[in-house]
Amino acid sequence: MDIIKTKDPRFTLRFATPDDAGMVVAFMKKLGTYQKMADKIIATEEGIRKLLTDKRGEAVFGMYDGDMVGFVYFCQTSSAFIGQSGIYIDGFLVDDTMRFKGLGKIMMAFMSRLALDRGCQRLEWGCLDWNEPTIKFYRGLGAYSVDEMTIYRFAPDQLKANAEQF
C-alpha cells in the first residue's frame, strides 16, 4: 500500500484495496449515523469488496498519526450534456474528534488533484439540505450547489419491474 504524504506531516492518505471493504462499510455506517439515516446504509462487506475489485468504486483513507480518521468513497462519471468527465464522491467523512484540523480540506484538495490527474473537469457530491455545517465547509472551499435538478432513482424492486417491461 502506497502512503501519500500531505502538507500535514501527521496526516497521510492511502487508497483502499478490496481487503479494506469492511473498513469502508464501517465508515459508511458512521456517515449514516451522522446523517441521521443509519438505517439506509445497507452496504455489505461483500458488496463493497466487489465494487472495489471491479474498479466500479474506489476509496481513500485518511490516517492521522497512523489512526484511520477519515475516508472518501467515489467513482468516475461523465456527462453527455457538457461532454466532460468527473469524479462523484458518494461518501466523505472525517471522524468527529478530528474535525476542524484542516483534514477535510486536505482530502478535498487530494480529490481535486486526483480528478485533474485523471483528466476530469469536475468533482461532484451530494449534501443533505439540513446539514448546514457541511454546506458551510463546502461553500468555503468554493463549491456551489446545483439546485435546478432533482435526482430520481429506481430501487432494486422498481429496477427489476421496469426492466421486465422490455
Domain ranges for the chain, please list them: 4-163
CB-CB contact of 126 with 40 (8 Å): no
**Whole-number pLDDT of residue 1:** 66
Report how far residue 118's alpha carbon sits from residue 85's, in angstroms, rounded to the nearest whole number.
9
Which of 3.40.50.620, 3.40.630.30, 3.30.420.40, 3.40.640.10 would CATH assign to domain 4-163? 3.40.630.30
Lowest mean pLDDT: which of 9-13, 32-36, 42-46, 147-151?
147-151
Give 99-114 pLDDT, tens digit per residue.
Answer: 999 999 999 999 999 9
Average pLDDT over residues 50-56: 98
Dihedral angle, C-alpha 51, 54, 55, 61, nearest 10 °: 50
| Helix segments in the chain, DSSP class H | 21-34, 45-53, 103-117, 132-140, 156-163
What predicted TM-score, i.e. pTM, was given to this entire model?
0.93
